Structure 1
Amino acid sequence: MKKTWGRWLFGLFGLALFGCSTAENEMAGGNLQAVNHTLHAINWFSVNGYRAHGGGGSSCCIILPTKWRPGLKANIEWEVDPDPFAESPPLGTNEFREFMEVHKANYRHYSAVVVIPEWVGTDSCGLSVHFLTCNKIKVTTSCWGYGSPNNPIKEPKQVKEPAVCPK
């Protein structure tokens, strides 16, 4: 009797899950890409808990709905090295380890929540996170790469931080 009851409950649970599997709730994996527009180094970043290395390029993966819906947001956290080209002692030495301990103390951590812009149908190509000056973030799901006239983000790269950031 216990086995029958357990199977019935398991079947009911499976039916409930199947009932929730609508086109509205379908998810798909995509690449997570960083585009650094600053002179600082982005050591790492995460989007909704999916962590990747920063700086540029893409890594796998982020899970997004197959269809865009209003209110879709990305919680982004990242670590910045404000002096990525600091002169350091030779690798593997005690001096280098001491240098890195002091250097890492200058790393800064930031977070932002941004709205993920609308895409049409299933034309999302993952998520590109653009790191701008003044710790601003823009994201896009565009299939067009940065630099393409069709990519919605036009800010230049290698931009120096302004003396004062706008509020």
Structure 2
Amino acid sequence: MTRAAWLIVISGLALQGCTPPKPVRLGAPIEGYSHTSAAINRFSVNRGGGPNISPYSGGGKQNCCASLPVKWHPGLTVVVEWEKDPNPYDSVNWPDPPFSDAWRKAAKEHETHYTRHRAVVPVARYERLGVVNVHFLPCNQVAVTAGLMMPRTPKYPYQFPQKMQEPATCPQP
């Protein structure tokens, strides 16, 4: 082999080492859905923050990001933490004018009824990593997807009604 040929072979082998490896994990945008009469003031997935969610609503607002594996694997879970306002419409009865001392006192009292939750949640199987969708359900239950399917499409893993009622008693974990 000629000297030029050897240089080409060695250069080719050296360049192969310059190809960056494919990522094992990526940051995926986070979106939330409240299927209950409670507002979700804030939530996070693996410490990545999601948007606040009004009662019986969600979607359309994304925050960045939750770190998840590019490839789904059995046993994959995420940690979801959230703050819930069980009575988000109480402010209509607060004193006027807004932001007065009496109004602020009512708001401070209202905040004492917020509840904070944490759950380790399995992630539904996905073929390709996409938006992380978090569904807040009655009894402080949570369901999570992270694929390319959108809620309310036939192949989406969960078909929850948008409005779900809290039962009189919730099952104990």
Question: 1:74-100 CA deviation, whole Å, 9 max, x = no partner?
Answer: 111100001000122332211111011
C-alpha RMSD of the superposition: 1.8
- Following superposition, the deviation at residue 117 of structure 1 comes to 2.2
Q: How does 1:8-157 map to 2 (within 5 A)?
A: 23=22, 26-55=24-53, 56=58, 57-86=61-90, 87=92, 88-89=94-95, 90-120=97-127, 123-157=128-162
Gapped regions of structure 1 (runs ≥ 5): 1-17
Gapped regions of structure 2 (runs ≥ 5): 1-16
Count of equivalent residues: 145
Is the Cα contact below 8 Å between 2:43 and 2:81 reproduced in 1? yes
Q: Secondary structure at the match of 1:98?
A: helix
Q: Which amino acid aligns with 1:101?
A: K
Q: Which amino acid aligns with 2:35?
A: H
Q: Secondary structure at the match of 2:62?
A: strand
Provide the C-alpha distance between the structure 2 equivalents of 1:84 and 1:39, rounded to a whole number of angstroms: 8
Q: Secondary structure at the match of 1:70?
A: coil
Is the Cα contact below 8 Å between 2:47 and 2:66 reproduced in 1? no
Provide the C-alpha distance between the structure 2 equivalents of 1:156 and 1:142, rounded to a whole number of angstroms: 20
Which is greater in Rg? 2
Is the Cα contact below 8 Å between 1:77 and 1:110 reproduced in 2? yes
Alignment TM-score, normalising by the size of structure 2: 0.76
Alignment TM-score, normalising by the size of structure 1: 0.79
Is the Cα contact below 8 Å between 2:124 and 2:157 reproduced in 1? no
Question: 1:23-68 CA deviation, whole Å, 9 max, x = no partner?
Answer: 5x62222210101101100000011111222313321222211112
Q: Secondary structure at the match of 2:110?
A: helix
Q: Which amino acid aligns with 2:149?
A: W
- Following superposition, the deviation at residue 22 of structure 1 comes to 5.6
